[in-house]
Amino acid sequence: MEHKKKVILLAGPTASGKSRLAVKLAKYFNGEIINADSMQIYKEISILTSRPSSVDINVAKHHLYGFNSVKKKFSTGHWLKLVINKIEKQWNEKKIPIVVGGTGLYFKALTDGLVKIPNIPIKLKKKIRNYQKKVGQKIFFEKVTKLDPLAKKFLSATDSQRSIRAYEVKKFTNKSLFDFTKETKANFSDTVFRKLFINIPKELLHKKIEKRVEKMFEEGAVEETKKFLKIKVNQELSSNKIIGIKEIKDYLEGKSTLINAKEMIKQKTKQYAKRQFTWARGHMRSWETIYSSNFNDLFKKAIDKTS
């Protein structure tokens, strides 16, 4: 197959079948897979983050999975630097990079560039976060738009994370986050990207999530969590946010039953999937949506959109 300089981006909610499709695309295009899931970077947690199986890894080369310790900070900026190197290396080897995952912010950094903001002092960050918790998102959003009227151009009233970011940036730099965003440039031309989002129906996705959670427990999610808890990870680090850690910890401490732990993990995963859909509607409007309940049909649709 003739080599073209392109990058296939494959996104979708958790449990939508991205990994399986990525492997098939990698075989078809002589490509290699690059992780775009912020929770699949961790060495010590593979079951709860649904890292690709050893079978998949043997079929196609996978990059940026399970390489960072749960005790180490890892940012979108770190990921972007690594992924740019991987893409260029694969192009030099006449390969097609296939970037796959569910972390919208990673994809946005790759396609739009990363906003370069000075480091904001932790003390100020904590103060603003506490203030947002105290007054609630509705009032906080009003305060943000009063402090920075330009925030209305890029913020949704319910987006607490970005509201906090906009507030702290304006407070610390006296410059709008919108101005920083405007100055941002991507590392690659948009023409190299083939952007696919798996738009799976909600009812079917919920069934898949429930099956996946049951499978996690069969594969040893409880043991994996026990090992994680022994590491005593700093509470500020993102690895603590892995869905399942808190729920299994509560079960191990006798605060919850195993059935309750499973139900909570299913519920939280469904909520996470909902947030992924919301992100896609807001930030992935230029992406092609694909779906079929038949995997071969889904693969054909992906080929049509990426060839």
pLDDT in tens, 171-198: 999 999 888 888 888 999 999 999 999 9
Output the DSSP codes for 65-87.
Answer: SS-B-TTS---HHHHHHHHHHHH
Longest dimension (CA), the chain: 59
What are the structural domains of the chain?
7-113+189-201+276-306 (3.40.50.300), 122-182 (1.10.20.140), 204-275 (1.10.287.890)
Its pTM stands at: 0.86
Give CA separation, 124 vs 75, 117, 165, 196, in Å: 19, 15, 11, 38
Q: What residues have CB less than 8 Å from 115, skipping those under 6 apart?
A: 177, 180, 181, 184
Residue 1: what pLDDT? 37
Instruction: Report which of 80, 77, 78 is spatially closest to residue 116, judged by C-alpha positions.
Output: 77
Strands across the sheet containing 31-35? 62-63, 31-35, 96-101, 7-11, 193-198, 288-290
pLDDT in tens, 229-246: 999 999 889 999 999 999
Cβ atoms of residues 291 and 208 within 8 Å: no
Residue 139: what pLDDT? 94
- Flag whether pLDDT at 3 surpasses 60: no
DSSP state of 98: E
pLDDT in tens, 14-72: 999 999 999 999 999 999 999 999 999 999 999 999 999 999 999 999 999 999 999 99
